Amino acid sequence: MTESIHKYFKLGVIQWMSHPPADRDVLTSIRQIACDDYFDAIEVCRFSSDEARNEAKRMLESAHMTVCYGGQTRILGGPNPNAIEENERLAAEATLKEAVDEAEYLGARGVAFLSGKWNPETREQAFAQLVKTTRAVCDYAAKRGITINLEVFDYDMDKAALIGPAPLAARFAAEIRTYCSNFGLMVDLSHFPTTYETAKFVVRTLRPYINHFHIGNAVVKQGAEAFGDMHPRFGFPESANDTPELIDFFRVLKEEGFFCAESP
């Protein structure tokens, strides 16, 4: 590819991961990203105060950025959307609906989340519970013109989420799309090694449902520094992704029709 990547993709950054709260104030972070003309998009998450949320909204509107909302932070360490216990599942549904409200206020048209922990003996029950949660959130979001994206994570390494691997994610997406047209999947290059899959396998398996990509790296060697879902830089010692893997990933995306200048 000799053309600018911006011709085919809206390039963004995950604000709270690029600038963790302990290192940088959220509004300082958003201002820095919004003023950087390399970025077309930004992913934000829950704000701690109305004042910060209002100021972020003002800046994002001024910058004309594509805004995405990360509901993953509400689930990690919080209620499980596929919990067998119904009250916990309902709590997850409620916080994801709150995420939709916050996303709408910020001008985001997409909300992402992930599935929760699971046990092998109750996987099918958990799958059914996640269907209930997702359908309810999608129905709520549809009234606001917002898309819901489930991010595919590892199932036995770090986050140990119910969805993936890719074939299970495809099964789940097909089930939800039967009822909800505003549902899709988010896939992350850094998660392919953690689900023991390749870019070609994941993208081709999930092609009809993919709305959003994350592009990162992971270390999957037990005992190595940054093991798990830690998102180190490309080429980090003993990590899975570097320039060759990134090239392969973009070749697959091009083959599968994701290089679309008319609708990046």
pLDDT for 29-43, tens place per residue?
999 999 999 999 999
Q: For residues 172-189, give the mean pLDDT.
A: 98
pLDDT score, position 109: 96
Q: For residues 229-249, give the mean pLDDT.
A: 97
Is residue 15 one of the residues assigned to a domain?
Answer: yes
Q: For residues 83-87, give the mean pLDDT.
A: 98
Q: How many domains does the chain have?
A: 1
* DSSP string across 4-15: -GGGT---EEEH
List the beta bridge partners of residue 117. Answer: 161
Place 66 in a pLDDT band, splitting at 50, 70 and 90.
very high
Whether the CB-CB separation of 190 and 229 falls below 8 Å is answered with: yes
Is residue 131 one of the residues assigned to a domain?
Answer: yes
Angle at 140 between CA 136 and CA 144, to 5 degrees: 155
Q: For residues 53-64, give the mean pLDDT.
A: 96
**Single-letter amino acid code for the residue at 70:** G
Token digits for 96?
A: 């994801």
Q: Which residue has the tokens 């940088």?
A: 24
Ordered alpha helix ranges (H), 107-177: 123-142, 166-177
C-alpha closest to that of 195 among 240, 225, 232: 240
pLDDT above 90 (res 21):
no
pLDDT score, position 23: 80
Whether the CB-CB separation of 153 and 192 falls below 8 Å is answered with: no
Range of the domain at 159: 5-216
In which element (H, E) is residue 243 found? helix 243-255
Is residue 95 one of the residues assigned to a domain?
Answer: yes
Residue 264: other Cβ atoms inside 10 A: 16
Q: Which residue has the tokens 């992930």?
A: 114
Whether the CB-CB separation of 111 and 100 falls below 8 Å is answered with: yes
pTM over the 0.85 mark: yes
In which element (H, E) is residue 28 found? helix 26-34
What value does the mean pLDDT of the chain take? 97
Is residue 135 one of the residues assigned to a domain?
Answer: yes
Token digits for 234?
A: 């490309």
Q: How far is CA 88 from CA 84, 95, 157, 197, in A?
A: 8, 11, 23, 31
Q: What is the CATH number of the domain that holds 170?
A: 3.20.20.150
Is residue 244 one of the residues assigned to a domain?
Answer: no
Residue 86: other Cβ atoms inside 10 A: 10
Alpha-carbon gap, residue 24 to 42, rounded angstroms: 16
Place 217 in a pLDDT band, splitting at 50, 70 and 90.
very high
Q: What is the DSSP letter of 48?
A: S
Q: Which residue has the tokens 């993953």?
A: 72
Is residue 237 one of the residues assigned to a domain?
Answer: no
Whether the CB-CB separation of 179 and 148 falls below 8 Å is answered with: no
Query: 3-state class of 166 per DSSP?
Result: helix
Is residue 261 one of the residues assigned to a domain?
Answer: no
Is residue 145 one of the residues assigned to a domain?
Answer: yes
